[in-house]
Amino acid sequence: MAPGREGGRQWRWTETVAATPMPGFRRIDIDVRRTGGRRPLAHLVGFLRKVPPS
């Protein structure tokens, strides 16, 4: 977990990157918790395309 400070509060976030069934794409899941919190207060899912080197 990575720490951060925003709005006068301490937060922790985790990022998980995983393969997808579609070649060339990966899935990113991000959870945000208060420091010491067990349950995520926010969850974000995004998809990125792998760009071949030029």
Q: What is the CATH number of the domain that holds 41?
A: 3.30.1300.30
Report pLDDT for 17: 96
**CA dist., res. 40 & res. 54, Å (int):** 38
Nearest by Cα to 16 from 29, 3, 33: 29
Q: Could you tell me which residue, 7 or 18, shows the higher pLDDT?
A: 18
Residue 31 lies in a domain: yes
Number of domains in the chain: 1
Report pLDDT for 52: 80
Report pLDDT for 3: 72
Q: pLDDT digit string (tens) for 11-53?
A: 899 999 999 999 999 999 999 999 888 899 999 999 999 888 8
Query: Within 13 A of 37's CA, how many CA atoms are on the CB side?
Result: 16
Residue 8 lies in a domain: yes
46: CB partners within 8 A, 6+ apart: 27, 28, 30
Residue 20 lies in a domain: yes
For the cut 70, the answer to whether the pLDDT of residue 1 exceeds it is no
The token pair that represents 26 in the structure block: 């990966």
